[in-house]
Amino acid sequence: MNLVQSRPKRQHLLHHDPSVLLITGGSGPERAGSLRSAEDAISALAHLGMRCSVRDLNDLDHAELRTCDFAFLAIHGWWGEDGKLQGALELAGVPYNGSGVAASAIAMHKPLCNRIAENAGLNVPRWMSCDRRNASDKSARALFGVFNGRVFLKPASGGGSLGACVVDSPMALGECLRAAALEEAPLLACACIEGIDVTVAVFEIGEELTVLPPLAIHHDAPFYDYDTKHAPAARRYECPAALPDATAAAVCRDAQNMFTALGCHGYARFDFMVDREGTPWFLEVNTLPGLSRQGNLATMAAPHGWDYEELIARIVASIGACQRYRP
């Protein structure tokens, strides 16, 4: 008996006039970024000749999933990038862009993702998971001592720098931990690495992995926070990043290794901090990175020779038919 059953074959995703269900919005903290991605992606899909129906994840009728040729996910963070939406699409047999359930879920959960990165040989800043047990003054002082100085706190699951902060005293650390405990929101405490923010995108094209030119983000903020990310005057993009050859090779290699180790599919973006010695430190993975025309992914695509419409076309081409089981 053959236990691995193939799904019924669907028409090729790039056939003439395909029906696309673009899913955006949702109720997570990154809703605003999802809507910005959708706005630009919709125009590019129309330029490519694709009929596009748009649904907010909050209003998605799951029966509607079976009426489209594929789902285009212009959504970020909770419920849309963390494997939950991917699971619904897998059950419905609907092709979609980005990684599957397992890679999406692990990439979103930073403690698990850090363990994968460490096992893959990447440099990961010292880190510890935190919850209400660390909220007392005594525990906060002990935790602060582990990092010998400033501590970078961020949600254990989430993105966009939302909820992240830098604390420079045991008292401030305790206050942050107690506030998170009230919301039952687990945190990740990390050592602060001084350096340059660098991001790298990996695309799966056929059987090969293609790395787009690394992007360096220069800014004067204490860290690359939400406000700085969305204020063009507050930061400067440099792509390709002016990195030493050995450092550029290392971040590209690390991004490819993480793509493979996580079992990502289609494309993903990997964030690093490059310290003053040129050593890249892994920060996190975006399995559905932002798709605005002025965003990181589009900025990296341009020097690679892809305009925005080709970038979206590459994402569509990476989807493939949803015919066999994948984790």
Q: Write down the CATH superfamily of domain 127-191.
A: ATP-grasp fold, A domain (3.30.1490.20)
**pLDDT score for 252:** 98
Within 8 A by CB and 6+ apart from 153, the residues are: 130, 164, 165, 166, 167, 173, 176, 187, 188, 189, 190
Each residue's pLDDT tens digit, 23-59: 999 988 889 999 999 999 999 999 999 989 999 999 9
- CA–chain centroid gap for 80, Å, is 11
Band (182; pLDDT cuts 50, 70, 90): low
> 225-229, 265-269, 322-326: which has the highest mean pLDDT?
265-269
Within 8 A by CB and 6+ apart from 236, the residues are: 217, 218, 219
Each residue's pLDDT tens digit, 131-176: 767 667 788 888 888 887 788 888 888 776 677 888 888 888 888 8
Architecture field, domain 19-97: 3-Layer(aba) Sandwich (3.40)
Classify domain 107-122+194-287 at the CATH class level. alpha beta
Q: Start-end ranges of CATH 3.30.470.20 in the chain?
A: 107-122+194-287
Band (83; pLDDT cuts 50, 70, 90): very high
Which residues is 199 bridged to in the sheet? 215, 271
Q: Start-end ranges of CATH 3.40.50.20 in the chain?
A: 19-97
**pLDDT score for 4:** 37
Band (184; pLDDT cuts 50, 70, 90): low
pTM (global) more than 0.95? no
Q: Start-end ranges of CATH 3.30.1490.20 in the chain?
A: 127-191
> For the residues 212-225, what does the mean pLDDT come to?
87
